Structure 1
Amino acid sequence: MKTLKFAVLAALLCPFWALAQFKISGTVSGNGTNALSGANVRVKGKNYTTATNANGAYEFANLPAGNYTVVVSYVGFGSQEKSIDLNANQTLNFSLQQLSFVADEVVVSATRAGKKDAFTFKNLTKADLDKVNQGQDLPYLLNQTPSVVVTSDAGAGVGYTGIRIRGSDATRINVTLNGIPLNDAESQGSFFINLPDLASSVDNIQIQRGVGTSTNGAGAFGASLNIQTTTRRDSAYAELNNTYGSYDTWRNTVSAGTGLINNKFSFDARLSRIKSDGYMDRASSNLKSFFVTGAYYGKNDILRANVFSGTEKTYQAWNGVPEEKLLTDRTFNEFTYDNQTDNYQQDHYQLFYTRNLGRQLVANAALHYTYGRGYYEEFKANRTLADYGLGNVVVGSTTITKTDLVRRLWLDNDFYGGTYSLAYTPQSNLNFTLGGAYNRYEGEHFDEVIWAQYANYNGAASMRHRYNDNDAFKSDFNIFGRASYQLDQLNIFADLQYRNVFYSYYGLDANGNPGQQSARLEFFNPKFGVTYNLTDRSNVYASVAVGNKEPNRRDFTDSNVNTRPKHETLTDIEFGYRSQQSNFNVGANGFAMLYKNQLINTGQINDVGGFTRQNVPNSYRLGVELDARWQILKNFAWGATATLSESKIKKFTEYVYDNVSGFPAKTFDYNNTNIAYSPNIILSSDLNYTIHGIGFGLISKYVGKQFLDNTNTDSRSLDAFFVNDLRFTYNTPLLGIKNVGLNFFINNVFNVKYESNGYTFPDMNGGVIDRYNYYYPQATRNFLLSLNLKF
């Protein structure tokens, strides 16, 4: 039937094709000299559009005679149009003049590494992200980059997801949006679920592994993700993205932009909805977001405002699957209460101003405000009434001390501040950057009982009984200076940062009395590196960088002021080789990450009964990373990454407490054990073949064995897994639509059953120890099908 429809359509169009007999062709150059590849060329008022090739050439064929106006545009150049009376084949050449605009990239340049800097990093463009963006959470779009392991609570990449880089989790990965910190000030994690479909409004991402260059926000102990959102697009556009997939997964996204208006203004907007039932039972997600940005471009300055927001309602799958259930019910979810959900909304407001103060000095400043609020609701069985500030209930002669109840744990917070940078380039081989930020966080934590089977409110409020209420405040100030000097083939780099953190929270004083407590920490983070250019396309580099990181909220609140853990210190040594050839790019990097007082879970309870993390004096990560891409043939390319590493804790003690006595009846000493969640090998491969707009891809990922704790015990580990995905794409202009894109992903094509995350804990009763393992199974074979329309 489809073949018949196409045949009928072709037959109907044949008379029109027969009348088309002329063509318009030509070239597009910049400033009259350089060919502009990828320039947008369209016929005004018609559904004809194309782009220039590598030589700046374009062509419109089979046009009927008539009057035409051809419009050409290219980012960073003024658009141009020419009109002709077409009655024969005609050549129409264009020479665009470059605009003297300040580039949007200046906004994030202060916190990024350059190609000559002695740090290891990976740049991802909008095209790289669009190729894999089917509505899954942002960590899944980074899965093919070096040293990355991703996981999903719901099993299919929608909802709560996690990312580890070099074995370090999200609390140790610094994330900034346009230079503004995204990490939560207290937990220090980044929750991309709060900004669903963020990738659709991202222009580029730089991933720095290790300590990296100075940035704003929490310390980077595994990596930094520096994300830049929508930048200037000179031509107006509109785009529709719709995805449907397994587990009733839907994504609907509409975005549009005005292009550059009067060479001064631009406006862009996006609206998204993502819904999924999830692979796990009752692991549903209902996510919504929007992104709006407007900019003014002067001759020497840029003013940009971003407003974006995300809301999420996610059924909890946080607890994972008990080990004994894996073989019989991999999608098991122990939560059965109808509204066992997480509900949160986060609004972001950002204002940026960049000014070119001369040929040698560029200033950048930003103000930001983030408002987050929400709760998670959960059913708790057989809870002691007194623990919730409720009185016992007397029914006749029976005193009831326990009850089933439903509670909500709320968080209402404000995060605001400013960032700045000054870039000074007195000569072509020397540049300086001065940057920094001051940010404030105010968080209100409160918990409510919203239903109880039995309750005595002691004359206080009835339902929505608030039984816990405390506030937190945190300020974070940093200033850094950076210099780079090119001496012949040698580049010398230095970066010095001072950071001051003040944290006020509700906790325990030295005597165990509750009240508002505080802590102030000061850090000095120096970084030095050298790069030697072997050729204009290859170099070798080496660097040493120091990073310091404060404990998180639980480390403070679950201890008293004398027993809370110390801050962590990391000395990171990086060295490597980079080469970019016409058909082959490669980066090889070695690293040594040496930790002092790294915080890990040992099972030890402190003197106030909290399971806080404990400092271990010495631990390290050593490894090598490879990131390569080979254009084997014109239409056939292969990208691959590899990480071989060793992550060790030199010495630590595990504590196991008896539930009856409450004392540490057992302790176990360990030497040179693997750090939990740190596989020794991570491999990825991306094979791509394209022809006539049709693309085929085989994407593979291998992750080695991971331990769930720091004891090197095989019975408490994640098995290695090897997963393959297939990708089919088709892109073509059609009926006046600039591009129609079809994408079909088959994930886990070989139906592998594997777990990418988990946890373990001991339990002892009467001297007998039991160990309990929980796992997060990932989806078996599943698909995502999307339709993309660009206008």
Structure 2
Amino acid sequence: MKKILLLATLIPFSSAFSQEKDSIKNIQEVVIQSEAGRLQAVNFHNINPAKSIQNVGKEPSFLLSESVPSVTAYSDTGGNNGYSYYRIRGIDQTRINVSMDGAPMNEPEDQGSYFSNYPDIFNSFDKIQIQKGVGLSKNGTASYGGSIQLFSPDLKEKNLEFGANYGSYNSMRLYGKYTSGIKNNMGIHVRLSEIYSDGYKYNSSNHGQSAFISGGIFKDKSTWKFNALMGNQRNQLAWLGVTQEQIDKDPQTNGSRDEKDRFFQTFLQVFNQTKLNKSSSLQSSIHYTHLNGNYDFNLNNFIGLPENGEIYNYAFNSNFLGFYTNFQNKFKNGKIVAGINGNVYSRNHTGSELTLGELYRNTGFKNDVSAFAQAEFKFGKWLFSGDLQYRFANFKYKGDVGMNDLEWNFLNPKVGINYLINNESNIYFSLGRVGREPTRNDIFMGNDNLMLDENNQVALGTITPEYVTDYELGYRFSKEKIKLEFNFFYMGFKDEIVLNGNFGPNGLALTNKVDKSYRLGAEISFNYQMNEHWNLKNNSSFVYSRIKEENVSFSPVLTPKFIVNQELNYKLKNLTINVTSRFQDSSYMDFSNTAKLPSYVIFNSGVLYDWNQWEIGFFVNNITNKRYYNYGYTEADGTGKYFIQMPRNFMASLKFKVF
């Protein structure tokens, strides 16, 4: 019924748009202020999911890991659907800022943004920018390990298409999307998607729907855009790992038992860009996110006791409202940008048990406000930049146990130098420092409801912030057939909050605070168009990381030293053949550095054929049927638990473009 109402609402708009001829000559592209350009001293990568041959409904985490150096990904189910997770340089996604058209999408309490809540989300985006390190100032959650910026669809190109995919383990996707083009100074994009998979592991199915609407009104001096993203999902959970013995006996073993989740999330945004005069402009946006859902927790299975039918449930209902305003003024040899951002957030938590009913109820309140100023000055071939952000965040709690309010203040400076060698190449250096407050899960030590300790005191974990100082040195080269990006980095941390490889009583990963730590490495991206038929791509990274604690030095968990992604494309008329490989080095699963995830190499391939308005594809992943793991942890007794990923699997796709 929701889909029928949505379509009924959109039909008058799409009909009106189709009456007029395109008039896009005066339409100017909207550039979000936090988006980095080629001449800025920022380590960034732009990707276009629409042009990725492997974008056939798989979770965005895997597309990022295939396209960008230093990114790792894994899924709970072992397949390409359901819950997936990513890390940049070994830094988990709660420290990675995610935004759409500048509006923050991270949940403020636990600072994560989960693409699985919006199934098939990348099917609507023409451009995504990943900034690694501290990057430019962002709104909302700190851009601590990096940022992922989503940009609403370009409405200029008219398009109507339908697609269907089907593959191993009953994995399927159905979608339809329509882009009107710009007509009478207006445009609209609409997409509806349905995704389902049994999952590779037993009882790990994923079923989700999503809708995305993006509309724009374009005037000579003003642009208005509206984004509405809605996701609904139902999962059988598979977040617990299994032992090597269980995998050897049956690789599809699911460590979780009789657990499901149900989540509905909506993101709404209104954006305006107004040209004040020839040199200055103003960007403003308001946004609202609503989340409602819950997940089951089988406690006895988690702690290794015989099951007795007890199933606990954690339910959440949150509201997130915010705004930002940016002012930009350009002059002959540079520009100045200043902005302010504010967010208010509340999340209700309810814990219950299947037979006992409600056990507790509490509410977390998280607010933040930030202001920044950026300046760029060009002198000949040199471009100097500075960026200073002030950010304030506070957390309040209301429950059966009281706690004092927590407040954090951060001053985040960044400076950069870029030298334009010639029109094809440039070299840059940047230095920045960012602070980040702990998540609610860090503060509550993995508990969903605040409790008293044995001394009748409030039991709190980490409440102090962590800091990173980030050095980036890079080189970019772009010619007709060759594009090359090379980057060195050093990230020095103070009081870093790091994963310790264990899980808490609510099923979320636990962390420790360490005195000193660092990550250094090198990253390369290479694209070579050899001739009209052959194209070669490579993105690779080396990351060396150490933690120093009480005169002991060791490696952080889940941070492989080497990652190599290789891609070869062959195109002949309407036929495209794609072959990719990925090497991921071994990584530790525990602080003691005694348990390891082994290294692996996998190969994937895809074939696409365009025939009139039809596009037919067939894909084979993990061609050599490699048994591999890209996530794991250890229990208190040292037992290793692993997440196996799919063996050889297949996917067929069919796409029909009406126009």
TM over 0.5: yes
Give the match for residue 203 of structure 1: 126
Q: 2:428 aligns with which of 541, 545, 551?
A: 541
Matched, 1:749 2:623: yes
Distance 2:632 2:302 in 1: 27
CA contact (8 A) 1:407 1:451 kept: no
Letter in 2 for 1:760: T
Q: CA deviation at 1:712?
A: 2.1
Distance 1:479 1:190 in 2: 22
Q: CA deviation at 1:468?
A: 1.1
Give the match for residue 666 of structure 1: none
Give the match for residue 238 of structure 2: 317
Q: 1:516 to 1:194 in 2, by over 3 A?
A: same
Distance 2:388 2:598 in 1: 42
Q: 2:260 aligns with which of 341, 348, 362?
A: 341
Give the match for residue 147 of structure 1: 70
Letter in 2 for 1:102: Q
Distance 1:740 1:217 in 2: 42
Identity of aligned residues (%): 29
CA contact (8 A) 1:571 1:593 kept: yes
Letter in 1 for 2:275: N
Matched, 1:283 2:187: no
Q: 2:179 aligns with which of 246, 257, 262?
A: 257
Residues 436-487 of structure 1 show CA distances to partners (whole Å, capped at 9, x for unaligned) of 31011110000122336xxxxxxxxxxxx21111001010111111111111
Q: 2:213 aligns with which of 267, 277, 292?
A: 292
Residues 60-105 of structure 1 show CA distances to partners (whole Å, capped at 9, x for unaligned) of xxxxxxxxxxxxxxxxxx968xxxxxxxxxxxxxxxx9722332x3
RMSD: 2.3
Distance 1:700 1:146 in 2: 14
Letter in 1 for 2:290: Y
Distance 2:79 2:524 in 1: 27
Give the match for residue 343 of structure 2: 439
Letter in 2 for 1:325: Q
CA contact (8 A) 2:414 2:431 kept: yes
Give the match for residue 648 of structure 1: 546
Distance 1:152 1:405 in 2: 26
CA contact (8 A) 2:630 2:644 kept: yes
Q: 1:403 to 1:760 in 2, by over 3 A?
A: closer
Q: CA deviation at 1:179?
A: 1.0
CA contact (8 A) 1:323 1:772 kept: no
Give the match for residue 65 of structure 1: none
Distance 1:757 1:631 in 2: 34
Kindly report which structure 2 residues correspond to 1:442-453, keeping only aligned pairs within 5 A, or say none: 442-451=346-355
Distance 2:50 2:353 in 1: 48
Q: CA deviation at 1:380?
A: 4.7
Distance 1:687 1:635 in 2: 11
Matched, 1:377 2:296: yes
Matched, 1:573 2:471: yes
Matched, 1:585 2:483: yes
Residues 586-624 of structure 1 show CA distances to partners (whole Å, capped at 9, x for unaligned) of 111000000000013569999xxx996332111000101
Letter in 2 for 1:371: H
Matched, 1:528 2:420: no
CA contact (8 A) 2:395 2:405 kept: yes
Give the match for residue 90 of structure 2: 167
Matched, 1:117 2:40: yes
CA contact (8 A) 2:172 2:196 kept: yes
Distance 2:503 2:538 in 1: 44
Gaps of 5+ in 2: 1-19, 451-457
Q: CA deviation at 1:644?
A: 1.3
| Bigger radius of gyration among the two | 1
Distance 1:603 1:407 in 2: 23
Q: CA deviation at 1:223?
A: 1.5
Letter in 1 for 2:334: L
Q: CA deviation at 1:157?
A: 1.4
Q: CA deviation at 1:143?
A: 2.0
Letter in 2 for 1:355: T
Give the match for residue 329 of structure 2: 424
Kindly report which structure 2 residues correspond to 1:86-105, keeping only aligned pairs within 5 A, or say none: 99-103=25-29, 105=30
Distance 1:727 1:575 in 2: 35
Distance 2:500 2:484 in 1: 40
CA contact (8 A) 1:566 1:615 kept: no
CA contact (8 A) 2:49 2:55 kept: no
Q: 1:712 to 1:286 in 2, by over 3 A?
A: same
CA contact (8 A) 2:295 2:315 kept: yes
Q: 1:225 to 1:605 in 2, by over 3 A?
A: closer
Matched, 1:721 2:600: yes
Return the structure number with greater relative CO, CA threshold 8 A, min gap 6: 2
Distance 1:636 1:557 in 2: 54
Q: CA deviation at 1:562?
A: 7.4
Kindly report which structure 2 residues correspond to 1:255-654, keeping only aligned pairs within 5 A, or say none: 255-262=177-184, 264-337=185-258, 340-381=259-300, 404-427=309-332, 429-451=333-355, 465-506=357-398, 514-558=401-445, 560=458, 564-601=462-499, 613-652=511-550
Letter in 2 for 1:568: E
Give the match for residue 455 of structure 2: none
Q: 1:534 to 1:222 in 2, by over 3 A?
A: same
Residues 472-526 of structure 1 show CA distances to partners (whole Å, capped at 9, x for unaligned) of 101011111111111100010111100000111257xxxxx92143101000110
Distance 2:82 2:351 in 1: 24
Residues 650-671 of structure 1 show CA distances to partners (whole Å, capped at 9, x for unaligned) of 225xxxxxxxxxxxxxxxxx72
Matched, 1:231 2:231: no
Q: 1:536 to 1:502 in 2, by over 3 A?
A: same
Distance 2:160 2:301 in 1: 55
Distance 1:413 1:491 in 2: 43
Residues 327-368 of structure 1 show CA distances to partners (whole Å, capped at 9, x for unaligned) of 11111013443xx21110001111111111111111111111
Distance 1:562 1:695 in 2: 56
Residues 697-718 of structure 1 show CA distances to partners (whole Å, capped at 9, x for unaligned) of 11111110110022221xx110
CA contact (8 A) 2:502 2:633 kept: no
Q: 1:602 to 1:305 in 2, by over 3 A?
A: closer
Q: 1:648 to 1:290 in 2, by over 3 A?
A: same
Distance 1:439 1:293 in 2: 22
Q: 1:751 to 1:526 in 2, by over 3 A?
A: same
Letter in 2 for 1:755: Y
CA contact (8 A) 1:135 1:251 kept: yes
Q: CA deviation at 1:672?
A: 2.1
Letter in 2 for 1:469: R
CA contact (8 A) 1:102 1:300 kept: no
Give the match for residue 87 of structure 1: none
Helix, strand or coil at the partner of 2:591: coil
Letter in 2 for 1:731: D
CA contact (8 A) 1:434 1:482 kept: yes
TM-score by length of 2: 0.90
Q: CA deviation at 1:324?
A: 2.2
